[in-house]
Amino acid sequence: MSTLVVGSRASHLAKAQVREFLAPLRERFPDVTFRQRVITEAGDQDRRSALKEVSERGGGSAFSVNQVDALVSGEVDVIVHSLKDLPTANPPGLILLPPPTRADVHDALCGSTLAGLPHGGRIGTSASRRIAQLLHVRPDLVPVEIRGNVPTRLGKLRTQRLDAVVLAAAGIKRLGRGEEISEILPIELFPPSPGQGALGIQIREDNELAREILAGSGDPVTDAEVRAERAMLAELHGGCSVPVGAFGKADGDVLTLHGQVTSVDGRRQVEARLSGPLCEPEKLGVQVAGLLLDQGAEGILAEVRPAA
């Protein structure tokens, strides 16, 4: 009898994602024992020390370095990440499997609808993309930096007297709190973070057992959509905290990718949209990035990049 150890971060969302990932697998492989293991990250504890540690280690995410170490050392066989939190550069020896069908890709407003927000309304979010997109359509709004996991951020609606908070619909729904969503933001104006709503299933390349058990766990359509989004982000040299929105959508064997880059003050925005064959998602991502760069995306992104 074989055992597969599945790691994730400690948050309720991370654990919910592991349960969602494992449910169909437990049914398909009744003889396999699936064990869950929690791996804490510096980013889950103290953001400042986390950022310092990450910069000292030469990149990577404050929310994925320990997970990756656990995978490399063999402590776990699989890590279930939120794909959008994963850097586009894959560590050597590790691979991302095609993700399962993704959950709701939209951003959501909790506390108020967009039209219902008062002039100068206080909106909780610390994501530069969300700040930029909101200010682009409502320059009067006042972004308020909030941190922490999803339940903490929902709680800040009241404790920080905010008019609304913006969060990924996927996370809110996975935590069973979908009824707290006031408005699903329109995807044309608010394309999400590349990979939003999808799981990032990471394994060691040489782990035959994991490869065998997880071979059928992915959805090829979701895979193509997120590949295009992430290829676009990589081409823009963006990380997880840049004001870049991307939405890839398949229709039959045609994939359409919408890319958007917005200055954090919301004043400048460039957009591009292209369709291509579903079987060449990375090519489409690079092409859309090229169109964004032609329109000056680099100048917008240079403002948010830390000085080298």
Ligand X SMILES: NCc1[nH]cc(CCC(=O)O)c1CC(=O)O
Give the binding site for ligand X (CB under 6 A). 82, 84-85, 150, 167-168, 170-171, 196-197
130 is catalytic: yes
Cross-strand bridge partners of residue 148: none
Radius of gyration over every alpha carbon of the chain, rounded to an integer in angstroms:
19
Annotated catalytic residue within 102, 153, 227, 230: 153
Rounded to the nearest whole angstrom, what is the least distance from the CB of residue 294 to ligand X in the complex?
29
240 is catalytic: yes
**Which lies closer to ligand X via its Cβ, residue 50 or residue 167?**
167
Residue closest to 66 by CA, chosen among 9, 135, 142: 9
Annotated catalytic residue within 52, 147, 267, 305: 147
153 is catalytic: yes
Rounded to the nearest whole angstrom, what is the least distance from the CB of residue 214 to ligand X in the complex?
19
**Which lies closer to ligand X via its Cβ, residue 189 or residue 286?**
189
**Which lies closer to ligand X via its Cβ, residue 193 or residue 269?**
193
d(CA 213, CA 88): 25
d(CA 159, CA 146): 11
28 is catalytic: no
Annotated catalytic residue within 9, 102, 122, 130: 130
Buried b / exposed e over 175-195, threshold 16 CB at 10 Å, is beeeebbebebeeeebbbbbb
Greatest alpha-carbon pair distance for the chain in Å reads: 62
Rounded to the nearest whole angstrom, what is the least distance from the CB of residue 219 to ligand X in the complex?
15
d(CA 115, CA 113): 6
305 is catalytic: no
Rounded to the nearest whole angstrom, what is the least distance from the CB of residue 80 to ligand X in the complex?
11
**Which lies closer to ligand X via its Cβ, residue 84 or residue 122?**
84
Angle, alpha carbons 206-208-214 (nearest 5°) = 115
Residue nearest ligand X, CB atom distance: 171
Active site residues: 84-85, 129-130, 147, 153, 240
